[in-house]
Structure 1
């Protein structure tokens, strides 16, 4: 066997739903993978929490509970991590990279907080760091942003990047169900975790948004810099209101290149995750169930959309295997993958300065002068009204207002002022509106 044909030895950290599928694909496609890489790809060991747990199709002799020991073994070339979490996973991956071992990870939370540390360790030894599976599962997205569009100027990335919340909102839209009922159905079908907090409160999507913004705008963005709102407050009435306007509600991750504003010249980055109404004519409006899709806008390429399975064992394993082939091939031929590109170092603009639009639903007293008084508050805060709908109900009325684009802080101040008016009984809902102007 020649030097180039020496096997590429892989340490796998984690053997749950995704890890099991990785083992299956490595076994079933061994010959094809060897041909694509230029050398056999072999499992050196699999780190798990419980080695005695039955795992059909997984060689028991490869299992170990010593992840730290596995990543430091001399016969390991690549570490594949699908455990998740921050610590001790961060330490294991840093140890591997500092030892010159390439890393493939699906860990969005870790990358959204510590990508800089991981890239620095990779650069110091010339190791590769790949993470396609961290965002949007099987959808080829990060590599096109990192490589295919490296010569373009990306201006906006907007997408549905969490399958659980998209399933819930799709069910609410299709059946008229409330949030709790749709969540129960998602749990029954296995789309929602036993503790769905990371999904429904937007934490998962915020981590993915940070990664997308970092790549798209060549700027380090962490999850803590992403404005985050979940879907727990979305009601059946909100969904019905969106339908009446020819819109639907989606939890969106929105990353934009914007003007810095204030005294600082140049550009900045705005990154936010929140539910929003979008026109049913928008490409993202037809993305239903547990699917993901990301809409990218760039100066030269124009508008692009990436769509597909955003989660699940096999789809995620597909993305991991794609990365594994890339890093293994680099080790065989002596090449290197793309490094971190954070040269732009743009400031991250807070949500208060972001230009957004609101859909506001109010319960008000049904009497003369109410609409004029509400409109006056909008005028005081320099927020323009795009559309108004009022329906009387005996002595009360429902008043729905959709605004034009304005700074989020101005919109929020407007809503707060309106809520204090004596004839406003309740601010029923406030939701951002994205897409084409009404």
Structure 2
């Protein structure tokens, strides 16, 4: 064994010198003064790290196969390269919206030389590894030769690019064709007619929440600040609606009141979704959840005839829970407390994870609904006066919160489920 491995290098000697200066100051009673720690310039070999990364994953005869790429990057290589190419072409189409950090640039050194900066692929790899594994940004320095602060910046810019590029497609409202497919699938699998999906909320802990805000972001059942995500998911784990950024002290009903999930209904722009169940005619679709809003669990648990309905409802409602679990399994950064101090930065990271999740679900070819070639169809808009808008909002809100309709729908669905043949 080489004995030189155990000898102190120059860095250790410098550290010991700084520590001795601190001890001298303490012995003299100078507790207010601190020795100045010099800035250390690390000469990172960017070119060699870039070549090693390309040889490991992105060349024709790469060291690691596509199976390893899928496991470590949570997505297939064609999808990864699609995002990279879209980011490269995005600034030319939308100038000023995407940061310049994702374009290959020249860095001027102190001696006047110029060196090629980090490639876009390497920046995306740094961001994906942080999302997929929840790494501390400094943990990638030895392999990618990117500093901790730079990696943190690249993660935020990557999330911003993904959100700006794909929010219209992968956070879209369901089209009429999507709604029809979802209706048919849920009635076939779970027996619920005109059900559009499962809705629920999840909490993401916030580690660096400012102390002045901790009261409004902490709830009694959580001993730490959290930020809430409201999502609607279908059987194929596609997340149709995501509303993130609400203070963790809110309950699910308050989040539901603030979210835009019923925006089209309140503005009277939703398509006609009338249906009949148990001989009763209803005008609007519904979501399934577990609390006391929307279609909730029945209180008649003591009756044996309600047991079947409870089983069907729990079987249908678990889709959103499966989507949350799949989201956290793919992006482990969501299983760890958020380190950022900015709510906007945390929101961009969360939305980027949801969009990437939907992109992966789409690539698995198990999606119930797919975007047609005609593209997105915006709901119709109407030119109304202020008085007309207020009258429409008052009417739709009253219809949406009608308790009699809620209890009648729950009763009719229960009777409908009880008449289904037992599996």
Normalising to structure 1: TM-score of the pair? 0.30
Q: Which structure shows the bigger proportion of residues in strand conformation?
A: 1
The structure that has the greater radius of gyration is 2
Whose helix proportion is higher, 1 or 2? 2
Q: With the length of structure 2 as denominator, give the TM-score of the two structures.
A: 0.31
